[in-house]
């Protein structure tokens, strides 16, 4: 199975900060990588698919990049609504593994 390692697992940031989350795959997944946002008590929400395609309705301050084994999710200017936990997921091969998550909290 492909393992995904997210870093950091926790970060504390202020409104307006630029935030970058990294997701590393144990083997290449080409662009079969998605990013989700999850708030407490809610189902995950898709932010980015195919490593860099922003989903409709997702603010443009979110962006994704990478290919192969290293990927990043960037929030260009953190907003109050962005405090949540973020997960990457590979869809290259079953099992369709998730990263361990990155919790973004208010500094």
Partner 1 sequence: EVQLVESGGGLVQPGGSLRLSCAASGFTFSNYAMSWVRQAPGKGLEWISGFSGSGDNTFYADSVKGRFTISRDNSKNTLYLQMNNLRAEDTAMYYCATKSRYYFDCWGQGTLVTVSS
Q: Cis link prior to 85 (omega < 30° from 0)?
A: no
The stretch among 17-25, 44-52, 57-65, 68-76 that binds partner 1 (CB under 8 A) is 44-52
Is residue 23 within the footprint of partner 1 (CB under 8 A)? no
What phi, psi does 43 have (nearest 5°)?
Answer: -70, 155
Do residues 34 and 91 lie in contact, with contact meaning Cβ atoms separated by under 8 Å? yes
**Site for partner 1 contains 86 (CB under 8 A):** no
Separation of alpha carbons 106 and 31, rounded Å = 31
Q: Which of 12, 53, 74, 79 binds partner 1 (CB under 8 A)?
A: 53
Joined together, the tokens standing for residue 66 give: 């990478």
35, 45, 84, 71: CA torsion to nearest 10: 0
- Binding flag, residue 105, partner 1 (CB under 8 A): no
Please list the alpha-helical segments (H only) found in 1-107: none
Which residue in 22, 31, 63, 67 binds partner 1 (CB under 8 A)? 31
Does 49 sit near partner 1 (CB under 8 A)? yes
Q: Which is nearer to partner 1, 27 or 77 (CB)?
A: 27
What are the residues binding partner 1 (CB under 8 A)?
A: 1, 31-32, 34, 36, 38, 43-46, 49-50, 53, 85, 87, 89, 91, 94-101
């Amino acid at each position: 199975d492909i393992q995904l390692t997210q870093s950091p697992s926790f970060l504390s940031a202020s409104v307006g900060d630029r935030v970058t989350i990294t997701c590393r795959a144990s083997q290449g997944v080409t662009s079969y990588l998605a990013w989700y946002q999850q708030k407490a008590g809610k189902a995950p929400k898709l932010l980015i698919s195919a490593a860099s395609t922003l989903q409709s309705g997702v603010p443009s301050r979110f962006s994704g990049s990478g290919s192969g084994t290293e990927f990043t999710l960037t929030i260009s200017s953190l907003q109050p609504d962005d405090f949540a936990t973020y997960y990457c997921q590979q869809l290259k091969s079953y099992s369709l593994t998730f990263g361990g998550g990155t919790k973004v909290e208010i500094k």
